[in-house]
Amino acid sequence: MEIGVIIGSESHMKYVVKVFKENEVKEVPKPEDCSLGKFVKIGEKIVGIISNTTIIDPDYGRRIYGNVEELKMFIPDYLDEREKLLSVVAIGTKERQGVISSTPFVGDTVRLMEKNEIKSFHEVDGKLRISYLPYLYEEPLYDAIVSEIVEELSSIFPERKSVLEGVRKMAIWQRMKEVYK
């Protein structure tokens, strides 16, 4: 399912994605499709993870009365300019986890990954690997992102649930240690 499009980047690893709205795609992504920790594919090869969300209101909160139909008719630009943006950290390509060599470009489509794609991305020589966490560590919501990753992977690799739980605990502990140091 396509959820957005690349509109810019903050670094080699981190990209800004504008979430599709009505009329842009057939199936408009629901809020839960764009939530933290979702695995996404940028273009054909690059694998990323949603690390943050921002929204833009061009009218800075000015109240405009009227129902949606009326607003569409009288001030359509206002609705067009309200955006939901996602931060996506590139965590590898479909072949391997790690720093990407070729970067996505503006306009590349971003879509949610299927379970089987997530499984194959996380299997290295038939064994579960999550070697990309260091690239997410600087994210303000690092522990929450790891929790979401663990949740997702536990459903795909139920036999590794307890080890994944250890990974989650460690992420929370690392963040707690930083906050309360």
Partner 1 sequence: MIIGLVKGVGETPNDFEFVTSDISKMSIGDFVTLEYEGMEIVSRITDCRPITDYPPIMYSNPEISPSEIALILGDEEKELYLVTATILGYYDEERGEFINPRIIPPQGARVKYASEELLVKCLNRKTSRIGTAHVGYMLTRRDIEVPVYLDVSAITSEHLCILASTGSGKSYLAGVIVEELLSPKNMASVLIFDPHGEYHTLTEMMSKNEFSSEWYSPQVEVIPPEKIKIRFSELEVSDISASLPEMSERMEMLLRRAYERIANEPIITRAMLKKAIEEIANEKPEMSNTASALLWRINRSFEQSRIFDDFEHLSLQRLFSPGKCTILDLSTMGDWEQQMVALIVLRKLLYARMATEKGIAKGENYLPYPVFVILEEAHRFAPRSGESKAISIIRRILAEGRKFGIGMCLISQRPSKIDGDVLSQCMTSVIMRIVNPSDQESIRTSVESVGREVLKELPGLTKGQAIVSGRAVNTTVMIKVRERVTSHGGESKNAPEEWRKYLENKRKEETLPPIEEDIPVLRS
Rule CB under 8 A: which residues touch partner 1?
A: 97, 127-133, 160, 162-167, 169-170, 173-174
Of the pair 72, 160, the CB lying nearest partner 1 is at 160
Of the pair 9, 154, the CB lying nearest partner 1 is at 154
Residue 98 CB, shortest distance to partner 1, in Å, is 9
Closest CA to 151 of 165, 130, 133, 166: 165
Residue 151 CB, shortest distance to partner 1, in Å, is 15
Of the pair 25, 130, the CB lying nearest partner 1 is at 130
Residue 47 CB, shortest distance to partner 1, in Å, is 15
Partners of 49 in the β-ladder: 39, 89
Cβ neighbourhood burial of 8 (10 Å; 0-12, 13-18, 19+): exposed
**Residue 49 in contact with residue 38, Cβ under 8 Å?**
yes
Closest CA to 43 of 87, 109, 107, 102: 109
Residue 157 CB, shortest distance to partner 1, in Å, is 10
Residue 40 CB, shortest distance to partner 1, in Å, is 21
Of the pair 112, 172, the CB lying nearest partner 1 is at 172
**Residue 171 in contact with residue 142, Cβ under 8 Å?**
yes
Of the pair 79, 130, the CB lying nearest partner 1 is at 130
Provide the CB-side half-sphere exposure for 75 (13 A, CA): 13
